[in-house]
Amino acid sequence: MTRTEPYARTIPHPLFERMIINDANTPAEEPWEPERQHEYGYFPGCVDFMDVEVKFSHLNKGDADHASIAAAAIKLMNAADIDPLILDMNSFKCCGHDQLWQGQLEVFDELKAHNLRRMKESGIGTLVVTCAEGYRTFAVDYDLPGHGIKVEHITQTLRDRGLKFKSPEPVRVTFHDPCRLGRMMGEYDAPRDLIQLVEGAEMVELANSREKALCCGVSSMMYCNDATKAVRKKRLDQGTDAEVQIMLGGCPKCYMHMQCMLNEERMDPGEHNHSFEMLDLMQFLSACLIEETA
Amino acid sequence: MTGIDRQFLSVWKKAATHDGDSEAVQIWTQDGSYNGIDSGKLGIWGTVVGVDFDLCIADGACIEACPVDVYEWIDTPGHSASEKKPFMPREPDCIVCHACEEVCPVDAVLITAPDDIEAAMAGGKAEPTTVEGEVATKEYETPAEASTESPEPAVAVPAWEPKPDTWHKRMKESLEGVELPDTGMAKAKPLFKEIRKQTLDSLSRGKEFIALVHNDKCIGCTQCVYFCNFASIDMIEWGLETRTAAFESKKALIVEDTCTGCTLCVFACPVEAITMEARA
């Protein structure tokens, strides 16, 4: 069979992409000031932005619930006595990671200029992000540390906060290293330290872990096709080989794409063997948190 | 029989109208009497988008489900079932996707395609909804399973394999009551709706059109299957020349006979692999 048309290069999800570009090109000139000073700022990022109306929560029959990652992160931070300023989409825009990596540099520059100005206006000392891609973008591409704002992935923020976790039942978990958190930012230990804190959770490593971890297959939402799915399937197969009950991720994109694959497989009962759950680390910790009665 | 009277267009009487955005919305009652929005007896509102306000419990499912923003809340003080109702000021925008009909927990919504209104009013057809009529006469194996006995528009639910979700539920429970602070949703929502409307306006829809999947573009993600309200999409293994030996995804196939041209799958598709084409 010969191909008559070139391969499609539509970047998923077209409407969402258009919305970010539209947002980037809408200038917001008026200054902004938070109601009060916060040491910590939390940037939920696309997690909630996507989950609003693009309805990622409604896709996959409601299984990929991204808003719950943000809710879990806020709950855990509050439990760790951190009162973060929520850097919401009223004053901020998408961090622009995908646009940068897709080569839409002018869009990224618009987003960066806007967000940098807002970061300075917010007066925060430390920025916390739940998204590994956002973490890399703010720390490296925005160079926030150079502007006097420390950037932390939420696992780094929570690791030494004396939080106590107990799993409702003995469970075998693994951690899927996101590319941006691991290979790019060199953070392998913080999420593992957090998992160690969970009583009753047995942590196993996948066949490829840490520096050699496999990618979820869809970097910066560039494209999804049979090749990227093959990578994802291989990664999920490793979870089966390690006999895990939950695969944990530190990046909403990994979570989303793994969920998508798992849902796709539901159409073909019996043709796969991935009988475990994919959760974001924050969601898992939230389910295991022992709330102290003050 | 519970739910909206499926023959209301021919049996019920026109009682009053209520101003919509561009056209007035018709109010129907059984005996033709209507005593105002606070009278406690409201009848069925709308013609294409018919909602039995006396059954409606105002859970908002239809407002959430509508891809073209037909509905908005209207206050109905003193009504016994609920004190607000999904009013349809943008009724002419309805793309007859039946999404709201599908989600309504009390079966209070009946969508009739504009082309069938006259026939339905004349009471000529026993089954006023086109979808129902069409499906019942076709021999497609997928929709037939669900359609035989059901009085609702035939929607066959694909046999999805249940997924382990113990921890998903646990996570949801642990987050109950954790109020997500304002994250700027108010800003994103109209922005997205506006862009979606632009895209929607550029699409052809209706019974003369059919959704077509480009196999080159389709990534086999199955999202359109979840979105289709008419069980009109199958996932097919084509045995195409694949790009990798390790994995081959199935491709979506639109079942011609049950596709109503509602464009919902075009929105669900993450890679713009579905287009609307005129039926031959």
Which of A48, A41, A30, A44 is closest to A117 using CA atoms?
Answer: A30
pLDDT one-digit tens code per residue, A143-189: 999 999 999 999 999 998 889 999 999 999 999 999 999 999 999 99
In this structure, are residues A175 and A284 in contact, taking their beta carbons and an 8 Å threshold? no
Which of A60, A9, A117 is closest to A255 using CA atoms?
Answer: A60
A29, pLDDT greater than 90: no
Of A100, A124, A158, the last residue of a domain is A158
Stated as kind and residue range, the H or E segment containing B252 is strand B251-254
Are A173 and A136 in the same domain? no
- Which segment of A2-11, A255-264, B93-102 scores lowest on mean pLDDT? A2-11
Please check whether residue B163 touches A, CB under 8 A. yes
Q: Which tokens is A108 given?
A: 């990224």
Sign of the C-alpha dihedral, residues B235, B197, A66, A183? positive
B216: closest CA of chain A, how far (Å): 6
pLDDT of res. B181: 65
CB spacing of A54 vs B192 below 8 angstroms: yes
Q: Determine whether B207 is exposed, middle or buried from the number of CB atoms within 10 Å of its CB (0-12, 13-18, 19+).
A: middle
B124, pLDDT greater than 70: no
Q: Which tokens is B265 given?
A: 């799958």
- pTM for the full model? 0.77
B180: closest CA of chain A, how far (Å): 6
Band of pLDDT at residue A48, cut at 50, 70 and 90: low
- Within 8 A of B189 by CB-CB distance, chain A residues are 52-53
Where do the domains of chain B lie?
Answer: 8-128, 196-278
Please check whether residue B176 touches A, CB under 8 A. no
Q: Is residue A108 part of a domain?
A: yes
Q: Is residue A3 part of a domain?
A: no
In this structure, are residues A121 and A31 in contact, taking their beta carbons and an 8 Å threshold? yes
Q: Is residue A6 part of a domain?
A: no
- Within 8 A of B233 by CB-CB distance, chain A residues are none
Band of pLDDT at residue B139, cut at 50, 70 and 90: very low
Q: How far apart are the first and last CA of chain B?
A: 40
What CATH number is given to the structural domain containing A210? 3.40.50
pLDDT of res. A94: 87
pLDDT of res. A151: 95
Please check whether residue A274 touches B, CB under 8 A. no
Mean pLDDT of A261-289: 85
Q: Which tokens is B279 given?
A: 């039926």
pLDDT of res. B245: 64
Highest mean pLDDT among A127-141, B80-94, B212-226: A127-141
Mean pLDDT of B42-55: 90
A245, pLDDT greater than 80: yes
**Which residue is it, tokens 């209301």?**
B8
Of A158, A186, A216, the last residue of a domain is A158
Are A117 and A218 in the same domain? no
| d(C-alpha A189, C-alpha A155), whole Å | 9
Which of A185, A182, A127 is closest to A157 using CA atoms?
Answer: A127
* Comparison of pLDDT for A130 and B184, the residue scoring more: A130
Are A152 and A234 in the same domain? no
Band of pLDDT at residue A62, cut at 50, 70 and 90: low
How far is residue A64 CA from its own chain's centroid?
12
- Within 8 A of B186 by CB-CB distance, chain A residues are 90
* Comparison of pLDDT for A135 and A225, the residue scoring more: A135
Of A140, A158, A176, the last residue of a domain is A158
Q: Which tokens is A221 given?
A: 């939402």
B175, pLDDT greater than 90: no
Mean pLDDT of B106-111: 89
* Comparison of pLDDT for A78 and B196, the residue scoring more: A78
* Comparison of pLDDT for A34 and B132, the residue scoring more: A34
pLDDT of res. A259: 85
Q: Is residue A116 part of a domain?
A: yes
Domain B196-278: CATH class, spelled out:
alpha beta
- Which segment of A104-108, A128-132, A171-175, B207-211 scores lowest on mean pLDDT? B207-211
CB spacing of B267 vs A10 below 8 angstroms: no
| d(C-alpha B21, C-alpha A111), whole Å | 36
Q: How many domains are contained in chain A?
A: 2
Please check whether residue A172 touches B, CB under 8 A. no
Q: What percent of chain B has pLDDT over 70?
A: 81
Choose the mutation target among B167, B193, B221, B222 for the interface with A, i.e. most A CBs under 10 Å.
B167
| d(C-alpha B229, C-alpha B248), whole Å | 26
Are A153 and A226 in the same domain? no
Q: Which tokens is A282 given?
A: 């924050």
Q: Is residue A250 part of a domain?
A: yes
Are A183 and A212 in the same domain? yes
Are A212 and A243 in the same domain? yes
Does the interface predicted TM-score (ipTM) exceed 0.85?
A: no
pLDDT of res. B182: 65
Minimum-distance CB partner of A277 among B167, B199, B247: B167
- Which segment of A15-24, A58-67, B270-279 scores lowest on mean pLDDT? A58-67
Minimum-distance CB partner of B199 among A15, A63, A224: A15
Band of pLDDT at residue A267, cut at 50, 70 and 90: confident
Are A18 and A154 in the same domain? yes
Fold of B8-128: Alpha-Beta Plaits (3.30.70)
Band of pLDDT at residue B267, cut at 50, 70 and 90: confident
Minimum-distance CB partner of B195 among A19, A75, A225: A19
Average pLDDT, chain B: 77
pLDDT of res. A50: 63
Q: Is residue A1 part of a domain?
A: no
pLDDT of res. B163: 73
Are A266 and A194 in the same domain? yes
Please check whether residue B157 touches A, CB under 8 A. no
Stated as kind and residue range, the H or E segment containing A100 is helix A97-102
Which of A114, A263, A86 is closest to B224 using CA atoms?
Answer: A263
pLDDT of res. B248: 76
Are A98 and A210 in the same domain? no
Are A75 and A43 in the same domain? yes
The CA–CA distances, whole Å, from B191 to A172, A234, B8, B187 equal: 42, 38, 37, 7
Give the residue from chain A lying closest to B169, CA to CA.
A287
pLDDT of res. B147: 40
In this structure, are residues A171 and A202 in contact, taking their beta carbons and an 8 Å threshold? yes
CB spacing of A233 vs B172 below 8 angstroms: no
| d(C-alpha B266, C-alpha A97), whole Å | 26
Reduced to 3 states, what is the DSSP secondary structure of residue B277? strand
CB spacing of A10 vs B178 below 8 angstroms: no
- Within 8 A of B167 by CB-CB distance, chain A residues are 171, 245-246, 277, 279, 283-284, 287
> Containing domain of residue A68, as a range?
14-27+38-158
Domains B8-128 and B196-278 share a fold: yes
Are A153 and A18 in the same domain? yes
Which of A155, A242, A160 is closest to A206 using CA atoms?
Answer: A242
Are A138 and A174 in the same domain? no
**With DSSP H G I counted as helix, E B as strand and the rest as coil, what are the percentages for chain B, rounded to 5?**
30, 15, 55
